[in-house]
Amino acid sequence: MVDNSLSFNEHIEGKIGKARQIWGMIRRTFMTIDWDTFPLLFKAFVRPHLEYANCVWAPAGKGTVKDIESVQRAATKQVPGLQRLSYPDRLRRLKLPTLKHRRRRGDLIEMFKMVSGAYDNDGIPPFEVAANSLTRGHCYKIRRPISKTALGHNRFTSRIVNDWNSLPDDVVESPTMNTFKNRLDKHFEHDPSVFDPDYI
C-alpha cells in the first residue's frame, strides 16, 4: 500500500498491527514460551508480516524503524529469564538478529540475485558500475544514483550501495545463492549491528 505522497507509512502501520495481533494470539495459546520455542514461533508466525516485500517498502525515518523493531523488542521481553536483559543481549541469547539487520541482509540477497542473473534484465532497476570497481574491491561495485529527496536516498538503488560495495570478493562472487547467504552471515558474524539496532 502506498499513499499519494509515495509513502508506505500506512502499509507499515498495518503490518506492525498485524504482527502484534499474531504475537498476542501466540501468548494466549502457550502458557510458557522458552528460549528454544520462542525463535521458532516468532520466525514462523510473526516476522513474515514485518518482512514480506520489505525491499520495496523499507522504512526511511528513524521513528518508523523503531516502531517496527518494537514488535520484536516487546516480544523478546516476555520470554522467561530474559526480562531484565537489554534488548541486544536478549537477541544474542535467542540468536535472533534485529529486524533492521534482517532488512539489510534481504537487500543484499536481492542485489546478489540481480548481479547473478536470477532476474530478467528488464525487471531490475538500472545500476551504474563504479569507475574504480576494476581496480579496488570486487568487480560488481555500483555507483550511488543522484537524488535530491529523502525518498530518493532511501530507495533500493541508493541504500544498497555502501553495504554492497563493502562486501569482500569471496561473498559477492559466491557460486550459488545458498553459498552467498552462508558467506554473508559469516561476514556479519562479529558485526555489533546484527544484535543492536542503535549501533551505527
Domain residue extents for the chain? 9-96, 103-194
DSSP 130: P
The pTM of this model reads 0.90
pLDDT digits (tens, 9 = 90+) for 34-85: 999 999 999 999 999 999 999 999 998 899 999 999 999 999 999 999 999 9
Q: Which residues contact 200 (CB under 8 A, 6 or more apart)?
A: 193
Nearest to 15 by CA among 42, 73, 54: 54
Residue 132 has pLDDT above 60, yes or no: no
Share of the chain above pLDDT 90, in %: 68
Angle ∠(167,159,7) on CA atoms, nearest 5: 155
Give the separation between CA 178 and CA 182, rounded to whole angstroms: 6
- Residue in the block written with cell 522504512: 59
